[in-house]
């Protein structure tokens, strides 16, 4: 469980940075499942109680980094603001950020249980966005919307993460086009349900 100490505190942020940095170095030296809390605290130059004031375990360390990265840099999820177009939920992957930080991202995303935690957490935002469509949809449409969005968001993320972890075998634009083509057309059964659209942001970071 995160947020054991306030992350707004400068000393807390610095301590967490040391802990994360130590874990990243250790992951170059040994398998993740062989790394102990003692290894981390020794490498970071902190006491064990300092570690436990900030995290419950090492999974929390990489999850916090992954969560913060996904929420602020790696991926943006938002409702289409253009009322003239079909309603949509837009997933925008920041390609340049991914390339710039690929070493750290690949290390943490290779930890399988972290990927699963990320996928569960990333459902929270699209599910909150779905509520914005509730007044436009019938009860049946709203239920279908919820299931469709959950299915597509999770599917898009899994495909993108698999692509990233397997050395990006396709050009990123082609990957985005493929994901969009695989999405279930909203016109099939429910015309009012928003679509999910994947975009790639190549703005330099």
- Residue 61: inside a domain, yes or no? no
pLDDT value of residue 83 = 52
Backbone φ, ψ for residue 36 (5° rounding): -105, 165
Mean pLDDT score, 44-71? 91
Mean pLDDT score, 179-204? 79
CATH of the domain at 23: 1.10.10.60
Q: Are residues 42 and 128 in the same domain?
A: no
Q: Are residues 118 and 85 in the same domain?
A: yes
Structure tokens, 19: 């802990």
pLDDT value of residue 44 = 97
Helix (H, G, I), strand (E, B) or coil at 202: coil
pLDDT value of residue 112 = 75
- Residue 1: inside a domain, yes or no? no
Alpha-carbon span 194 to 148, nearest angstrom: 9
State yes or no: pLDDT of 180 exceeds 80. Answer: yes
Structure tokens, 155: 């599917």
Burial of 88 (0-12, 13-18, 19+ CB in 10 A): middle
The residue with tokens 């290779």 is: 110
| Residue range of the domain that includes 23 | 10-56
Q: Are residues 26 and 125 in the same domain?
A: no
Q: Please write the tens of the pLDDT for every residue from 98-107.
A: 898 888 888 8
pLDDT value of residue 174 = 94
Mean pLDDT score, 113-135? 79
Q: Please write the tens of the pLDDT for every residue from 136-175.
A: 889 998 888 888 888 888 888 889 889 998 999 999 999 9
The domain total for the chain is 2
Mean pLDDT score, 22-49? 96
The number of beta carbons lying within 10 Å of the beta carbon of residue 194 is 23
Spell out the residues 6+ positions from residue 142 whose beta carbon is closer than 8 angstroms to its own. 130, 133, 134
- Residue 4: inside a domain, yes or no? no
- Residue 146: inside a domain, yes or no? yes
Spell out the residues 6+ positions from residue 149 whose beta carbon is closer than 8 angstroms to its own. 89, 126, 127, 129, 130, 194, 196
- 205 — pLDDT class (breaks 50, 70, 90): very low
């Amino acid at each position: 469980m995160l947020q054991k100490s306030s992350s707004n505190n400068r000393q807390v942020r610095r301590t967490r940075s040391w802990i994360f940095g130590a874990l990243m170095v250790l992951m170059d030296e040994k398998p993740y499942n062989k790394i102990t809390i003692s290894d981390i605290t020794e490498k970071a130059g902190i006491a064990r109680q300092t570690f436990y004031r900030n995290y419950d375990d090492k999974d929390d360390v990489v999850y916090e980094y992954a969560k913060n990265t996904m929420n602020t840099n790696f991926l943006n999820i938002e409702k289409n603001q253009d009322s003239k177009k079909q309603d949509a939920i837009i997933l925008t992957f920041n390609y340049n950020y991914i390339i710039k930080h690929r070493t750290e991202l690949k290390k943490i995303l290779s930890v399988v249980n972290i990927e699963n935690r990320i996928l569960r957490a990333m459902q929270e935002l699209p599910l909150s966005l779905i509520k914005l469509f509730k007044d436009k949809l019938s009860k049946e449409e709203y239920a279908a919307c919820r299931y469709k969005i959950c299915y597509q968001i999770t599917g898009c993320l899994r495909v993108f993460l698999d692509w990233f972890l397997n050395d990006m075998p396709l050009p990123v634009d082609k990957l985005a086009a493929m994901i969009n083509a695989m999405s279930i057309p909203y016109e099939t059964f429910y015309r009012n349900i928003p679509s999910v659209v994947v975009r790639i942001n190549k703005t330099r970071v």
